[in-house]
Every structure is written in structure tokens, then in C-alpha cells.
Structure 1
Amino acid sequence: MFVSRDSERIATRAEASILHADLDSFYASVEQRDDPRLRGRPVIVGGGVVLAASYEAKAFGVRTPMNGRLARRLCPQAIVVPPRMAAYAEASRKVFEVFRDTTPVVEGISIDEAFLDVRGLRRIAGEPEMIARRLREQVRTEVGLPISVGIARTKFLAKVASAVAKPDGLRLVPAGGELEFLHPLPVERLWGVGEVTARTLHEHGITKVGQLAELGESPLRALLGPGAARHLYALAWARDPRRVETGRRRRSIGAQRALGVRHREPDEIEAYLHGLIDRLGRRLRAADRLSRTVVLRLRFADFARATRSHTLAEATDHTPTLLGAARRLLADAMPLIDDRGLTLIGLSLTNLADADPFQLSLPFEERAENTLDTTLDRLRERFGSAAVTRAALLGRGEGLSVPLLPD
């Protein structure tokens, strides 16, 4: 139960005025909006891998990114539709227009969710709960999609509140009622509690957030380590001083390709790696960024995951340099892939820096504007991403390009 002595633990604003707005089952909701025959029926977006599932399909245990065969076994009556990325990108653009019409302080998290700071809008727009209700109605009317909104004094609690409110709901965590709302929830609601951490906590009888909070940080260190203990203990007492930030640049960019369960030869896997690097390099240059670290992400046939990374001597947007690092990582991981099978390959470019101003390296030369990379970028921008492709990808395609917030 929340009592006054704990109020000092919550270092935050005086009122609940941070909104977390999250579209419900976004891809599937767009499909149901655009095809009336799908409304009220279980819908799965994607074939080999579930990219999204409607709440009707989720009721049967279908989840993202579940294997498509398993999803169809769980829900044989589901309607499987191919993804339409352009439609999702357009729907996201319209929703963010509503967000920015609501408040100028919007922090996009992904194409289907954002934090909004409505503090200081009371005189012109009403109480935060009234603003949230109006936002939900505007998204429903203008974009035709359901959206859930959480309201709280911190970003963390606002996000938890929107999740509790799903589907298509609104949840206010009033100032002073944070711990009363948070402590009865399962520990899985805390950021950073995945399957492994949850299993460890459950083995020690900790299933609720309140139990974790009362345990204390020192005993948690023995269970989870100092970093995780400090992080989770702070969240369990609703400590989250982060502000809603606008204009914050992406710290990494990534892309992935689902491969299904059948065996893939090494040359085919490497071809997909080439395609991912081409896609990421194009995004990197379009955003005027440079990357210094290449991260390879793998998911095996037993659903276990592995990550490998390599940091370059200097940041670059040069595709062959990035590809060379990625190929070395893949070569090192190939024995593991041969042994365990591969169902997904992903790449991320991290340690991003702005390309301008650019630190010149010896010999001092300006960056060339007529490189092969820039020529290919212009061709693909004008004629489409499939206009020029690597020979190794012929007949295999580039894979899905998931719509993202601007880099």
C-alpha cells in the first residue's frame, strides 16, 4: 500500500502528465480497418513468421515473432494476410500527426508508440485525462485505429499503465497512487525482466513487484547482479526521472530477416547478410550518420539467441567496410549455426556519430560525393529498392523492410 513516507522515493513531477500512447496490434489493426471481412476474426500478419496478431488470434496463444506453422496449429481458423509495409507507414504518419497536434513534446519510441508530455496544457486543453480521451477519439476518427493510453508521473509507469489498459483502453495512475498501482503487478511488468530473470525471481518466491521492492537492493544483487538489481529496485519504487525528449537521434539502426525452419546453406545465409548491410548502409547515409560497431544477431532453431559484435578503428558509412566486419562475425559464428540451425539473422549498426562535421583521416581529403554507394543510393531512391541488387540475392529478394521512425 502506498504511504506518504515513500513519496520521497519518487523523484518526479507533481502531477500525472506523461502519456504513453500505444496502438493496439498495429499491423493487424490496419488490416482489419482496411478489410471489413477481417473485423472480429483472428488475423495473423506474415506467413513464415508472425509479424503481428489480432487480439482474437492472441486469445489462442499466438504471439510475435512466433513461427507461422506453430501459430496456425494454435489457431487453425486464423486468417493469414501478407504484410503491407507502405500501409503501416502511412497509418503511423497520420497517428503521429495527431500526437503532434496534441502537444509539441512528443518522443517517438517506434512507429506505433510514443510518449507525450502534456504538462502545462491544462488551461488550453484541460486535464491530462481529458487530453488522453480526446487523443484516443481523434486517432479512432481520423485514422480508424484503436489506441491505448497510460497516464502517470513517469515514463515507466505511463508505459505500464498503457499495457494494463490494453486493448483499446485508458488508464490513469494518479499522483500519490503509484505504488498502489504498481506493487500488485507481476514482476514481468518491470523493464528488464525477461524469461531468464523472471524464472530466477520466481524460483525465490518473488512473483509481484511489491515483493521485489520489499526484498531490498542488497539481496537482489545476490540473485541478479549489481546492475540489474539497482535498475529493477528503482523501478519497483517507481523511480524514473527521465524526461520526454524530442529530437533525440537514434543510437543504433538495425534490420533482420526471418529464415523459417528449413536448413539454409552458408552461401544463402551470407547472401542475406549482404542484403541487410546494403539496406542499413542506405539508411545510414540517408541520415548523415556514421557507424563504428557492427552487431550480428542470430536466433537458432531452438529459439535461443546469440549476439556478436565488432568495433572498427573509425566510424564509417562505407558499405564494403561494414560488410567486411559483418562477414567476419558470420564466419566466426558459422560452426554454431551448423550445429544448431538458424531461423533469423539480424544486423545492427551502433556507436553512431553525425557525418557532418566529419573528422578527416590521413591523407586529408574531403568525402567523395560520387562513390559507388551514393550512386546506388540514388538509383534505389529513384527506381525502388529492388532496382539494383546483389547477384547473390536474385530470386531470394531483399526481405521485408519494416517501417521505422526517421533516423
Structure 2
Amino acid sequence: MKQKKNIPDRVIMHLDMDAFFAAVEQLDNPEYRGKPVVVGADPKGGRGRGVVSTCSYEARKFGIHSALPISQAYRLCPHAIFVRGRMQRYADLSHQIMHILKNYSPVIEQISIDEAFIDITGSLKLFGSALEVARKVKNDIFQQTGLRASVGLAPNKFIAKIASDLEKPDGLTVCEKNNEKAFLAPLAIRKLWGVGARTEERLQKMGIQTIGDIAACDVKTMTKKLGVWGFGLWKLANGIDNRTVGSGHRRKSISEERTFYEDVADYAAVEKTLFKIADDLSRTMRRKGLKGRTITLKLRLEGFETFTRSKTITDFVYDVDSLRAVAIDLFRKFPMKERKVRLVGIAVSQLNTLGGEQLPLFDDSPANNEELEKLLDELKQRFGEDVVTRGVFLKKKD
């Protein structure tokens, strides 16, 4: 266990339940304990469709992991115990765990059913050192639920999340203040948020193998070779993450809309406006740390007739490409009947706060796009709205 003295003044805890769904199944079914358990779709003897939701550590020894096709999981370990999952049971235990965390700090940001950030800076005078708080939290969870959790302690959210993953299961890992770069330096570049297989390959071609290699690079060189995305990687590699732990009431939806000066019959112009709305809404959602699953198109036609069309997707998103694609698809499917458009808008609901959100399960490119958009936001904030814009919004020269 990596435990050091002089815990920093600002202490962020990241708590991650170990193999949560599978651990609950082993908790409730003693005969499952010590055996490979896979929670997900029905394998149907190796012919099933769908993916693995999670699996026990015993199953991971056979190469099974989250998002693996269930048919492949069956081939890797046909004698595993395959269960469909019980979301209500998992949700009930999640609620109990979050309630335990509230005993130690009111500043909590739950980022999924089985993990959360907790700012315990103001709790140290009441409960002792950060290590003591972490141990108490882990012990309370085990005593009250029978489940194990891994915890990371660090000066910021990014490093706390990395720390919680280093000594699973039942881990407790600490990164001290002023030791951020040394803590990160030996870790593989895949530990950085947003670095998937393709980005890893590109960095390795540049001679970069570890996070420390990125931190040692000149920031101008990283930006020149990788654009604003390189700047973001450099910041993370140097342990820079100033985000606060969010808490409070969750809003139900967020939206943007535009009213045309005159009713518009040019549907290509309407689609371009939808792209601009998606871009603005995406920036607002990133700034507020929001994602959503239901995307709604609002249309007001000539004569003030107003219509809405919605689509709910699998993943929580806030990237402009997803918002634009769904909104334009809904627009193209709407029976316009040559009517003019007075107003268009996009709303996103079924929101979920962002925090240190996990990377997409199937592809790393959406995460890269999201981080790129965040960095574009930062450039605009520093140097003005007109410093950079999307090519689609540029006016064509006559």
C-alpha cells in the first residue's frame, strides 16, 4: 500500500467499488464466491449477442473484461457463472454506499453507480488524517454492505481516480501534494484519460512510453505535433487538474434554440443552424459537466405550429457530433411538406453529471473528440471567441 505522510491541504478521494455487479452476485449467492462470475447478456452457449457488463476477478484471469462480446467470454470460460444482472439490487446498494460517504463529507460527486469523488478537505479536523478517513470509509462500507472498495487520495480528481485503480481490489493508494509528477511519471500512457489504442500507438512512434515522457516534453512541441490535444495531455501528465468536486441538485434538461429573422425554406440552412446550436449546446454542457441520453429536436413552423421529436441513445453524451447527428436525423425524418421553419432547437435530457467519467467502452475516438472540444473551449476563453472556429461556420468567399 502506498502510504506517505504530509497529506496535502486539498484532499480528493476517489472511491471505486471492486467488480461491483459481480461482487454483489457473489455476496448474495455464497456458492458463487471464488468462482468466475460474468454479469451481462445471455451467452446462449456461445451464440449470444450483447456484451459483458462486468465480471469477477476470478473471471478476469481468463481474459474476460467489461464490454467483451458475451459469446467470446463464453468461449474463454464456458464454465463461468453467467448472470443477467439485477439493476434494482445494485441501485439499492449504491444508494446505501453514497449515504455512507455523506457521513464524511457533503461534497460528493457520484459519477456512476459504483464510484464517486469526495472532497474531504474540510473533514480532516473531524475525522483525523486523510488516511484515517479513507480507512474508515472502506471499513464502514464493508461492515454495512459486505462489499470491498478501492480508494485513491490525491490533490486533484485526475490523480485520485488513477490512484484508486492502481492496487485493486481493496486498495488504498495515496499521492502527496508536490509529488504529482513523480507519482505519475512511471505509469503507462494508457493511464491518461482519453488515451486509447490509436493515441497510444501514435505517442509510441514519437518515442513516448510513459506519462513521465509526456511531462518531460516541451509543451510547444506537444502542441505542434498533436495540436490542442497535445496541450491537454501535457497538462494531465504534469498533474494539472483544477476541477472541483461537484455536488448539489441535478437539472433535468438543457437546451438551445434559434428563431430565424424570417421564416426559412432552405432546409440546408436549417441544418447548418442545427450544427451551430449543437456546437453551442455542447460547449455549455462541457462547462457545466453535463451529459445526457435523450436528444430532442424542437421545430416551430410557419403559422406557429410547434413540434418536438426525441431519440434516446445508449450512452451519455455531450459531444457536438452526437448532438448534431441525432438532431439532423430527426429533422430529415420529419414530414416538412415544404413548410417554412421559424425556430429550431435542441434539448438534452436524462442528464448525468460528468466528473472523472470512464472512457467509452468500444472506441477511444469519442473521448479524444470530447477532450479536444474542452481544449478549444479553453483557447476561446483565453483568447476570445474568434480565435478559433469550425470550418463549417466560415463564410465562403465570393
Q: TM-score range by the shorter chain?
A: 0.5 to 0.7
1:138 aligns with 2:171: no
The alignment partner of 1:149 has SS state of strand
Residue segments in structure 2 that go unaligned for 5+ positions in a row: 1-6, 42-49, 255-292, 297-307, 316-320, 335-345, 352-398
Report the AA paired with residue 244 of structure 2: R
Match of 1:52 in 2: 54
> For 2:15, which of 15, 18, 21 is the aligned residue?
21
1:163 aligned partner, one-letter code: D
Distance 1:87 1:210 in 2: 42
> Within the alignment, does 1:195 sit opposite 2:197 as a pair?
yes
Q: Deviations over 1:322-341 (max 9, x none)?
A: 9x86556899xxxxxxxxxx
Q: TM-score, normalised by structure 2?
A: 0.62
In 2: Cα distance, 1:95 partner to 1:328 partner? 43
Check whether the contact 1:295–1:309 (CA below 8 A) recurs between aligned residues.
Answer: no
Contact 2:110–2:116 (Cα < 8 Å) also in 1:
yes
Question: Where in structure 2 are the equivalents of 1:116-131 lying within 5 Å?
Answer: 116-131=118-133
| Partner secondary structure for residue 153 of structure 2 | strand
Determine if the alignment matches structure 1 residue 237 to structure 2 residue 238.
yes
Offset from partner CA, 1:66-103 (integer Å, 9 cap, x none) = 11111111223311011111111111011001111121
Quote the RMSD (CA, aligned, Å): 3.3
Give the match for residue 348 of structure 2.
Answer: 350
Whichever residue aligns with residue 234 of structure 1, its letter is K
SS of the residue corresponding to residue 120 of structure 1 reads helix
Kindly provide the amino acid, as one letter, of the partner of residue 114 in structure 1: A
Structure 1 Cα separation of the partners of residues 217 and 192 of structure 2:
15
Of the three residues 7, 28, 38, the one matched with 1:34 is 28
Q: Does 1:167 align with 2:169?
A: yes
**Which of residues 223, 226, 233 in structure 2 aligns to 1:224?**
226
Question: Would the aligned equivalents of 2:22 and 2:38 in 1 still touch at CA under 8 Å?
Answer: yes
Counterparts of 1:363-374 in structure 2 under 5 Å?
none
Q: CA deviation at 1:187?
A: 0.7
**Which residue is equivalent to 1:310?**
324
Corresponding residue for residue 67 of structure 1: 69
* CA distance 1:221–1:352, change in 2 (3 Å): farther
Q: Distance in 1 between matches of 2:54 and 2:21?
A: 6
CA distance in structure 1 between the aligned counterparts of 2:68 and 2:176, rounded to whole angstroms: 36
What is the one-letter code of the residue matched to 1:89?
A: A
Q: 2:186 aligns with which of 164, 184, 187?
A: 184
Partner in structure 1 of residue 159 of structure 2: 157
**What residue identity is the alignment partner of 1:235?**
L
Alignment of 1:254-333 (within 5 A): 280=294, 308-310=322-324
Distance in 1 between residues matched to 2:152 and 2:172, nearest whole Å: 6
In structure 2, relative to structure 1, the CA distance for the partners of 1:249 and 1:225 (3 Å cut) is farther
Instruction: Output the CA distance in 1 between the equivalents of 2:217 and 2:120.
Output: 35
Q: CA deviation at 1:308?
A: 4.5
Change in 2 beyond 3 A, CA 1:85/1:165: same
**2:239 aligned partner, one-letter code:** A
| Cα 1:198–1:37 shift into 2, 3 Å | same
CA contact (8 A) 2:295 2:312 kept: no
CA deviation string 1:164-183 (max 9, x = no partner): 12111100112222222111
In the alignment, which residue of structure 1 is the partner of 2:318?
Answer: none
Q: How far 1:42 sits from its partner (Å)? A: 0.9
Deviation of 1:294 after TM superposition, in Å, equals 6.2
The corresponding residue for 2:357 is: none
Asked if structure 1 preserves the Cα contact closer than 8 Å seen for 2:117 and 2:245, the reply is yes
Count of residue correspondences? 273
Q: Distance in 2 between matches of 1:67 and 1:40?
A: 23
Q: Secondary structure at the match of 1:124?
A: helix
- The one-letter code of the counterpart of 1:231 is G
From the superposition, tell whether residues 325 and 31 of structure 1 become closer, same or farther in structure 2 (CA, over 3 Å).
farther
